[in-house]
Amino acid sequence: MKILVAEDDRATRLILSRALGSWGYDVIAVSDGEEAWQVLSREKMRLLVSDWEMPRLEGPDLCRRIRQASMAYVYALLLTTHKDSDRIVEGLDAGADDFITKPFNPAELRARLGVGRRILDLQDELALKVDELERANGQLAKIAATDPLMNIGNRRSFELAIGRVSQKAAREESRYGVLMIDIDHFKQVNDRYGHAMGDRVLSAVAAALANAKGPSDEVFRYGGEELVMISPGQTAASLHDLGERLREVVASLRVACQDGEAIRVTASLGVAVAPAGSARWEAVVEYADQALYASKNAGRNRVTSIPR
């Protein structure tokens, strides 16, 4: 383990370096606090033995600087000739973890450094646990935002995403479109091929739509066999074109059945563009939903835009 020694007295520095070296430490020795600070800024050091009184930067000031910096925890042991407790309090307040009085007893120094290493080991274990928890948290967040069958964002992520998109559009005075996509007569697919096959069709439709969307578009499962897409920067005409393209993607999809039969489905779409600068997304979703109903009533497998 590496250890940094800061001591301006040459003889003490040598004695310290030699003792630490003989205990297996990899020693870097410097002659004042400023030099010590430079080493700490350059290299990852976890253990510091620092003299109190040194030119340029004294031990307690060095400790203070270390505690203010954002670096891995450095266990700092101050060497001092001061035995009075006011001074010791001052050193500990400055950020030192422990102190030892000069002239030091080598066995005591070794034991106190052992304490420091124990604390650093605990720190490392804790840091590892925090890493693990953060990773697990990230996985959970992803699970909570994703629909497992369609492997796209769920209703909750849709609401977060459209909130984000609509606020950005309001700030930038830009437009965005919402496309509601509902599979036609899907109940019949379940009735005819079974629920498991129905699941496969749903996941194939979601994959095809996710693949067909533009790079800034986002697609989500709105619920059941209904999907919703957000498409920023659209005019009514370009949004209708996108809807038409997605309708064709669904209609040309073939999902193979066990007996070799290819299941085909169609979808009805309702699309609506949010007026420029509008942050209220609920109304746009409502318009797209009304348009979807219009597509269903007009015979399905079609795209309706509101307002026309």
**Active-site residue numbers?**
225
Instruction: Report in angstroms how near the CB of residue 71 gets to ligand GH3 at its nearest.
Output: 51
Burial class (CB in 10 A: 0-12, 13-18, 19+), 229: buried
Give the Cα separation of 234 and 236 in Å (integer). Answer: 7
Give the Cα separation of 252 and 267 in Å (integer). Answer: 11
Q: What, of Mg ion, ligand GH3, none, does residue 8 touch, CB below 5 to 8 Å by kind?
A: Mg ion
Beta bridge partners of 256: 262
Size of the site for ligand GH3 (CB under 6 A): 16
Q: What, of Mg ion, ligand GH3, none, does residue 275 touch, CB below 5 to 8 Å by kind?
A: none
Indicate the residue among 80 and 234 with the shorter CB distance to Mg ion: 80
Give the Cα separation of 3 and 46 in Å (integer). Answer: 7
Q: For ligand GH3, which residue of 26, 199, 261, 282 counts as binding (CB under 6 A)?
A: 199
The residue with tokens 């001052």 is 90
Burial class (CB in 10 A: 0-12, 13-18, 19+), 230: buried
**Contact (Cβ atoms closer than 8 angstroms) between residue 198 and residue 186:** yes
- Rounded to the nearest angstrom, the gap between the alpha carbon of residue 141 and the centroid of all alpha carbons in its chain is 9
CA trace torsion 5, 9, 11, 14 (10° rounding): 10
List the end-to-end C-alpha distance of the chain, in Å, as a whole number: 73
Instruction: Report in angstroms how near the CB of residue 139 gets to ligand GH3 at its nearest.
Output: 23
Instruction: Report in angstroms how near the CB of residue 57 gets to Mg ion at its nearest.
Output: 12
Indicate the residue among 198 and 270 with the shorter CB distance to ligand GH3: 198
Q: Which two tokens stand for residue 22?
A: 């003989």
CA trace torsion 123, 33, 44, 131 (10° rounding): 30
Instruction: Report in angstroms how near the CB of residue 233 gets to Mg ion at its nearest.
Output: 28
Tell me if 182 contacts ligand GH3 by CB under 6 A. Answer: yes
Instruction: Report in angstroms how near the CB of residue 51 gets to Mg ion at its nearest.
Output: 4
* Interface positions with Mg ion (CB under 5 A): 8, 51, 53-54, 182-183, 186, 225-226
Query: Which stretch in 15-23, 70-78, 191-199, 249-257 sits in contact with ligand GH3 by CB under 6 A?
Result: 191-199
Instruction: Report in angstroms how near the CB of residue 194 gets to ligand GH3 at its nearest.
Output: 8
Indicate the residue among 217 and 226 with the shorter CB distance to Mg ion: 226
Nearby residues of 152 by Cβ (< 8 Å), 6 or more positions away: 146, 206, 210, 219, 220, 221, 227
Q: What, of ligand GH3, Mg ion, none, does residue 288 touch, CB below 5 to 8 Å by kind?
A: none
DSSP secondary structure code for residue 84 in this structure? S
Q: Show contacts with ligand GH3 in window 141-180 (CB under 6 A).
A: 149
Q: For ligand GH3, which residue of 32, 58, 218, 225 counts as binding (CB under 6 A)?
A: 225
Give the Cα separation of 231 and 176 in Å (integer). Answer: 6
Tell me if 254 contacts ligand GH3 by CB under 6 A. Answer: no
Q: For ligand GH3, which residue of 5, 76, 161, 202 counts as binding (CB under 6 A)?
A: 202
Closest residue by beta carbon to ligand GH3: 198
Q: For ligand GH3, which residue of 10, 83, 185, 245 counts as binding (CB under 6 A)?
A: 185
φ/ψ of residue 210, rounded to 5? -65, -35
Which residues contact ligand GH3 (rule: CB under 6 A)?
149, 182-187, 190, 195, 198-199, 202, 224-225, 296, 300
